[in-house]
């Protein structure tokens, strides 16, 4: 979940519904306007149908509006691929009075009044969730009707929070095995989800063929991005769509992956620096920046001429000087390559400090590198700063991830439903090989030294796109 809370007041400026015969895709599009409000950025520790909704770029987190209840009450949520639960604040929550928890109820609709919904039902199941940025929510599971991009879902299960300290509710769309109420038992081979979350329920109800969704965050200055359930939009990416497997980082508990983690095998800065690694990173739309091992962050920061700042705990330096050194940061995922412009990873320090509403850097601006140091392996995350450069397809049915270079375009959509697998996608060269670093030593910013990691080849079968099994043995 996102640990940066730059809030926006959002208003819907246009709605367009598109439908066709049952043999053709149908989807709904929203146009969303955005308005800025700056808060503290230093708080972070560390059928042939498709459903298409736009998500508003809120600087450092992305928001989607969902209708809840009968009649529908439209509420704003943080869109989060790193978690799996949909939860909303209850209108009875005392925190919504603005007297505690710092929740702002004036900028957007963030609460649901269950008393005026004729289809609401409370379940006798408690709910509690904690995120990496120290935000939390607690309450109980409930059922009610949802309206997502014009697609109606009846009797959906979600959580109604009576306490919490987040700025908005969260629309978690990950694996059901990663729900907060999933039980990890040593005597069992897999975690047990409590309910079908929204993407799984869409498939169960026949609204989409496959539990697959595509995420396009658009460029750093854009007002909108989009999420497309059950389909891909070929107009939003260029080059070949490549497939990589999700990595199972909880093999002692689950036979299959429970999080959207893929292997990051290397980072290259133009022709100046090559950093080899084999780490599993979470592809997380709910996190603003990225968090990688200390020696990786330090190597990149030093290469662009930045110095580590012990106050912000990020690398800071002159943006113009950095861009004269490096243009592109290249990420290698099992042989699939995504290019990220360095300028998109530099954040104006004036914006960070709340002195400007413009996060982009200008000539000779002092900038912060959008890359933090992860203290533990489970904190390795690629968030919005990097995800904006990729068209990301989460195939939760087949435990694989499709990625291609994002195209920033207003061209006519070219939407293709996902029936059984991601269309026109091929396996990345390293699809069947999983090499994982067994340890990494810490980098000391003062002495600028670190030791290289060691790696091990995990010999286990991994499912390929055609359903066959290959072994690395």
Considering the segment(s) 11-231 as one domain, its CATH architecture is Beta Barrel (2.40)
At 53 the pLDDT is: 62
* Cα end-to-end span (Å), the chain: 37
Q: What is the DSSP string of 45-113?
A: ------EEEEEEE-SSSEEEEEEETTTTEEEEEEEETT---EEEEETT-GGGGTTSTT---SSS--EE-
Given a contact cutoff of 8 angstroms between Cβ atoms, the answer to whether 270 and 339 are in contact is: no
At 455 the pLDDT is: 46
Catalytic residue among 76, 284, 384, 437: 284
Distance CA 218, CA 251 (A): 34
Listed in order, strand segments (DSSP E) in 334-389 are 336-341, 346-348, 366-369, 372-373, 381-382
Is 284 part of the annotated catalytic residue set? yes
At 12 the pLDDT is: 29
234-470 is classed CATH 3.20.20.150: no
Distance CA 382, CA 372 (A): 10
Burial 310-335 (b: 16+ CB within 10 A, else e): eebebbbbbbeebbeebeebebbbbe
- Going from N- to C-terminal start, the domains of the chain cover 11-231, 234-470
Q: Give kind and range of the element (H or E) at residue 455.
A: strand 454-458
At 39 the pLDDT is: 36
Distance CA 167, CA 5 (A): 7
At 198 the pLDDT is: 94
Distance CA 466, CA 98 (A): 53
pLDDT tens digits, one per residue of 68-87: 999 999 998 888 999 999 99
204 φ/ψ angles, rounded to the nearest 5 degrees: -60, -35
The DSSP bridge pattern shows strands 169-172 and 73-80 to be parallel
Catalytic residue among 80, 85, 144, 233: 80
Residues of the chain with pLDDT under 70: 1-49, 51-61, 94-108, 183-192, 223, 434-473
pLDDT tens digits, one per residue of 300-351: 999 999 999 998 899 999 999 999 999 999 999 999 999 999 999 999 888 7
Cα 173 versus chain centre, distance: 9
Q: Which of 421, 427, 435 is nearest to 211 (CA)?
A: 421
At 40 the pLDDT is: 35
Tell me whether domains 11-231 and 234-470 share a fold. yes
Distance CA 288, CA 300 (A): 18
- Local structure of residue 304 (DSSP, 8 states): T
pTM of the model: 0.82
Given a contact cutoff of 8 angstroms between Cβ atoms, the answer to whether 73 and 109 are in contact is: yes
Cα 46 versus chain centre, distance: 15
At 95 the pLDDT is: 61
Q: Which of 46, 423, 430 is nearest to 231 (CA)?
A: 423
At 38 the pLDDT is: 35
At 189 the pLDDT is: 58
Cα 144 versus chain centre, distance: 25
């Amino acid at each position: 979940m996102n640990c940066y809370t730059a809030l926006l007041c959002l208003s819907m400026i246009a709605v367009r519904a598109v439908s066709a015969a049952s043999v053709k895709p149908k989807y709904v599009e929203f146009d969303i306007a955005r308005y800025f409000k700056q808060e503290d950025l230093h708080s972070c520790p560390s059928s042939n149908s498709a459903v298409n909704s736009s998500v508003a770029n809120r600087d450092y987190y992305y928001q989607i509006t969902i209708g809840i209840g009968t009649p529908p009450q439209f509420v704003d949520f943080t869109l989060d691929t790193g978690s799996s639960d949909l939860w909303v604040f209850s209108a009875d929550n005392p925190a919504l009075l603005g007297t505690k928890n710092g929740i702002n109820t004036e900028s957007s609709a963030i609460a649901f009044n269950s008393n005026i919904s004729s289809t609401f039902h409370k379940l006798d199941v408690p709910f509690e969730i904690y995120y990496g940025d120290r935000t939390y929510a607690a309450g109980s599971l409930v059922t009610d009707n949802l309206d997502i991009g014009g697609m109606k879902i009846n009797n959906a299960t979600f959580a109604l929070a009576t306490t919490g300290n987040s700025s908005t509710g969260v629309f978690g769309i990950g694996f059901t095995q990663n729900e907060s109420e999933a039980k990890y038992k040593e005597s069992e081979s897999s975690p047990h989800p409590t309910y079908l979350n929204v993407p799984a329920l869409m498939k169960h109800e026949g609204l989409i063929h496959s539990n697959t969704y595509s995420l396009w965050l658009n460029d750093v200055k854009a007002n909108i991005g989009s999420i497309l359930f059950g389909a891909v939009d070929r107009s939003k990416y260029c080059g070949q769509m490549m497939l990589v497997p999700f990595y199972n980082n909880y093999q002692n508990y689950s036979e299959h992956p429970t999080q959207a983690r893929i292997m990051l095998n290397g980072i290259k800065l133009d022709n100046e620096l090559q950093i080899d690694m084999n780490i599993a990173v979470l592809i997380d739309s709910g996190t603003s920046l990225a968090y990688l091992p200390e020696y990786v962050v330090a190597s990149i920061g030093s290469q662009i001429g930045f110095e580590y700042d012990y106050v912000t705990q990020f690398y800071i330096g002159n943006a113009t000087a950095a861009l004269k050194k490096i243009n592109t940061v290249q990420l290698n995922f099992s042989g699939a390559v995504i290019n990220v412009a360095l300028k998109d990873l530099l954040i104006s320090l004036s914006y960070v400090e709340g002195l400007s509403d413009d996060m982009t850097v200008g000539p000779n601006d002092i900038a912060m590198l959008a890359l933090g140091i992860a203290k533990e392996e489970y904190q390795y995350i690629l968030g919005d700063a990097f995800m904006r450069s990729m068209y990301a397809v989460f195939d939760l049915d087949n435990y694989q991830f499709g990625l291609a270079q994002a195209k920033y375009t207003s061209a006519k959509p070219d939407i293709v439903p996902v029936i059984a697998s991601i269309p026109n996608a091929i396996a990345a060269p390293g699809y069947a090989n999983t090499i994982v670093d067994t340890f990494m030593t810490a980098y000391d910013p003062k002495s600028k030294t670190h030791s290289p990691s060691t790696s091990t080849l995990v010999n286990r079968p991994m499912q390929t796109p055609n359903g066959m099994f290959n072994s690395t043995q």
